[in-house]
Structure 1
Amino acid sequence: MNIIVPVQGGVTAPECDREPTAAELDAIDAEMPLISAQVELLDAQIMILDRPVSELDARRIRRALGKVLAARCAVANLSAAAMVPEVGA
Structure 2
Amino acid sequence: MKHIGALQAVVTADWSDPEPTAAELDAIEYEMPVITAEVELLDAQIATLDRPVSELDARRIRRLRRRVLAARRALTNQAGDRSAVGA
TM-score interval, normalised by the smaller of the two chains: 0.7 to 0.9
Q: CA shift at 1:19, angstroms?
A: 2.1
Q: Deviations for 1:14-73, whole angstroms, at most 9, x for unmatched residues?
A: 068432221211110011010000000001100111111101000110111011000000
CA distance in 1, matches of 2:78, 2:15: 28
CA, structure 1 residues 86+79, in 2 after alignment: closer, same or farther (shift >3 Å)? closer
CA distance in 1, matches of 2:18, 2:83: 28
Aligned counterpart, 1:31: 31
Map 1:1-89 to 2 at 5 A.
14=14, 17-85=17-85
Q: What is the TM-score with the length of structure 2 in the denominator?
A: 0.76
Higher CA-based Rg: 1
Q: What is the TM-score with the length of structure 1 in the denominator?
A: 0.74
Gaps of 5+ in 1: 1-9
CA distance in 1, matches of 2:14, 2:45: 37
Matched residue type, 1:63: R
CA distance in 1, matches of 2:58, 2:86: 44
Q: SS in structure 2 opposite 1:84? A: helix
Computed over aligned residues only, the root mean square deviation of the Cα atoms, in angstroms, reads: 2.3
CA distance in 2, matches of 1:83, 1:75: 12
Matched residue type, 1:62: R
